[in-house]
Amino acid sequence: MNAAPSPITVVLKILFKWWWLIAVSVALGAGVGFYIRSKQPDIFAAKATLLFGQGFIPSSGQSFASAQQVGVLMEVYAGLIRQPKILRPVIEALNLDTSVDGLNGQMTVNPIENLPLMDIIITDTDPGRAANIANRIAQEMIQQSPTEALTEEQAFIREQLRGFQSQIEQLKNDYDTSVAQGADLTSAVEIARNLQEQQSILATLREVQALYASMSASQTDSANQLQVFEAASPTSSVVASGSMLSVILSGAAGLMMSLTAIITMAVLDDRLQWAEGGPEVIDGVRVLGPLGMIPRSKLPLYVATMPESVEAEVLRQMRAKLVLMSGNTPPKVVTVTSFESGDGKTVTSANMALAAAQSGLRTLLIDGDMRKGDLHEMFRLPNMMGLSDILASRESLDTLLGRTLLDSGYDHLTVLSAGRSNADPAALLSGPRFSRLMNIFRHQFEFIVMDSVPSIGGPDAAFQSENSDGVVIVVHAQRTTHKGLQRILQTLQQGRDVKIFGMVFNRTALQLTTTYNQPYYRRTSALNVDRFNQELLNPKSRPSFFRQRNVLLDKSGERMYSFNAAATHLGVSRTTIKEWVKTGYLQAVRRGRFQWIWEKALERTVSQLPHQAIQEPLLEDELPSSSDMNSKKSDTVRMPDLLRNQRQALLEYASDADSNKQPSPETESEE
């Protein structure tokens, strides 16, 4: 038994199976997110930063408690900013169409840890309006903060300082001008006068600078006050909600939803799953393999419509598997069943019987679905009288079989339809008449396939399985569940000594597997046999533009074969034909661009082959009868004649069985 696949393998297979659902969900989620985001305006964020002066910062000699006080103070200021006393003047000054609560909803205040800075962030659909609101709130906070008012003396001193600053700048300019003029003087008197002027300007500059420094030292430090560290600007506003972010988030949401749905379906999915390299036994039933997914145009008898396909070869190999499972004893009667109608059991039964008939076995196909059987329609046969009529009638079996067994139209294949009797099928199948009928069929046919009733249709399959060598269960790879398989097993276990060969998965694409996707192991002819036979019958017909002629007639009417035709005729490869021509074993002549081989040369080669006969004495009962000798004299025995002979032998056997059997209670009561 194969080892169970690892959880990772199972997950990967599930994701590979449902990749399209994941792709659709992600695309749909991203599309919906993009559409919703496109209907909404962009939101911009503007930031203004306030700086707390040095008066709020503890020096290195202060305790840790002072640092905590600064943090508490900044939290207090963060709360004061949201008060109506600060925000209402801003709303009135900027003529904003909002309330204090609405402005609070647009604002975020973030004190920066370990720094005397506090950010005021405003979000708005207009970047310019967001910057104006942030800056106006910062200015209003500075004006409303408890700062020390300037006295008149301090105002006078500041005015004097501004005057000294202007005088200092003027003196510096005069000094630079005097130095530049002195560079061009040549007279000693003028040079001495220029140097005296420079010294006078320099002395005055020093006096003014000393006065400026003295008056500045008496001024209050403005760094101790609250001020704007960084003003908000419309150009520096950032988009707070972007379209790409919305699309990514929506796509991620679609991905999560699809994965959740896939996991839920995988957990709740009770269907039987075919997997290459999977378990050989499911719920105690051996897995025989997949049947394939047949195109509708090739149904129902795809063994005949597409004989070279992998699907047809898989079905041909099915009987070999059944032989191996029966201990190398070929089973004669095989019952085919399923869980419900539409699983493919009837198509499987018909093609299994047809494949056996094509191999040369005398095959009988029985439509055991007496409730809703339509197997006869696949062969374009009527259903005037069938299995249900035989079992419900009191006439002898030899009389009824002559009217119910139908020629299928295919060599070696006979069909018994379901019939039209209204009697209870379960009661008919449970009677002794059905067992006697199956015994007759066993002696006259080499292989029998019985299409049974689905398990949901009644217990008919159990009675049919009792008279079979084994049962093949057809499961629909897309809908049959473990519960359905248990229902089938429960129905079959009602019978006595029922053997289950295994289950086959219908409607499974073979090209998705690794074992069945290659052409089956078989010799390939150099030329298609049907095409070769057509050219033999019509050697004068013109081939199509893209086809090369393989059979020619010379002037005397003798046929000439191409290398491909000669290889097909002799059953060898084209390479072998070339070697035989090269070594002189075959003679070839050239006609145009190609070489051709006379038909009589091929016949002469075949006639010269050495044969070895083996003589074996025949027993007396193995000596051929006169009828056999007469039949061998004719080389044109038609298949309908053989079927009539087979049917006649079957009727004679049934007549002998009825004459030798003990009278049943039903017969005694009639007499």
Pairing of strands 281-282, 107-111: unpaired
The phi and psi torsions of 44 (rounded to 5 degrees) equal: -105, 150
Alpha helices in 326-431, H assignment, sequence order: 345-358, 387-392, 397-404, 425-429
Tell me the two tokens of residue 548: 């090369």
Average pLDDT over residues 155-169: 78
Confidence of residue 516 (pLDDT cuts 50, 70, 90): very low
pLDDT tens digits, 63-87: 444 556 667 777 888 888 889 988 9
Q: For 292-512, CATH number?
A: 3.40.50.300
Tell me the two tokens of residue 636: 């044109």
Closest residue by Cα to residue 367 from 412, 425, 314, 304:
425
Mean pLDDT (the chain) is 78
User: What does DSSP assign to residue 663?
Assistant: P
pTM for this prediction: 0.53
How far CA 285 is from CA of 157, 359, 404, 487, 586, in Å, comes to: 107, 28, 35, 13, 57
- Residue 612 region, left (φ>0) first, then alpha (ψ -120 to 50), else beta? beta
Indicate if the pLDDT at residue 538 is higher than 80: no
On whether the CB atoms of residues 233 and 128 are closer than 8 A, the answer is: no
Indicate if the pLDDT at residue 398 is higher than 90: no
Distance from C-alpha of 46 to C-alpha of 235, rounded to nearest angstrom? 9
Confidence of residue 635 (pLDDT cuts 50, 70, 90): very low
How far CA 283 is from CA of 7, 485, 487, 497, in Å, comes to: 20, 8, 12, 19
How far CA 533 is from CA of 117, 410, 461, 562, in Å, comes to: 99, 20, 45, 14
Secondary-structure percent of the chain, ordered helix, strand, coil, rounded to 5: 55, 15, 35
Average pLDDT over residues 170-181: 85
Is 657 in a helix, a strand, or coil? Answer: helix
Confidence of residue 1 (pLDDT cuts 50, 70, 90): very low
Burial class (CB in 10 A: 0-12, 13-18, 19+), 271: middle
Indicate if the pLDDT at residue 422 is higher than 70: yes
Average pLDDT over residues 441-451: 93
Which is it for the CA torsion 320, 326, 331, 335, positive or negative? Answer: negative
The pLDDT score that the predictor gives to residue 657 is 57
Distance from C-alpha of 575 to C-alpha of 537, rounded to nearest angstrom? 26
- Which position has the higher pLDDT, 455 or 610? 455
Indicate if the pLDDT at residue 353 is higher than 90: yes
Closest residue by Cα to residue 462 from 486, 427, 430, 495:
495
| 292-512 against 529-607: fold identical | no
Distance from C-alpha of 88 to C-alpha of 158, rounded to nearest angstrom? 34
2-25 CB burial, b ≥16 within 10 A, e <16: eeeeeeeeeeeebeeebeebbeeb
Burial class (CB in 10 A: 0-12, 13-18, 19+), 470: middle
Confidence of residue 341 (pLDDT cuts 50, 70, 90): confident
- Which position has the higher pLDDT, 258 or 55? 258
pLDDT tens digits, 231-249: 888 776 666 555 576 778 8
- Which position has the higher pLDDT, 512 or 436? 436
pLDDT tens digits, 570-629: 888 888 888 888 888 888 888 878 888 888 888 888 787 766 555 545 444 544 554 554
- Which position has the higher pLDDT, 666 or 103? 103
Tell me the two tokens of residue 332: 């004669």
The pLDDT score that the predictor gives to residue 518 is 47
Indicate if the pLDDT at residue 334 is higher than 90: yes
The pLDDT score that the predictor gives to residue 414 is 93
Indicate if the pLDDT at residue 136 is higher than 60: yes
Angle between helices 127-144 and 64-81 (to 10 degrees): 120
Tell me the two tokens of residue 320: 């070999």
**Residues listed for the chain:** 671
Indicate if the pLDDT at residue 8 is higher than 70: yes
- Which position has the higher pLDDT, 513 or 71? 71
Indicate if the pLDDT at residue 61 is higher than 50: no
Q: For 529-607, CATH number?
A: 1.10.1660
What residue segments make up the domains of the chain, in order of their start? 7-40+241-268, 44-144, 152-219, 292-512, 529-607
The pLDDT score that the predictor gives to residue 344 is 87
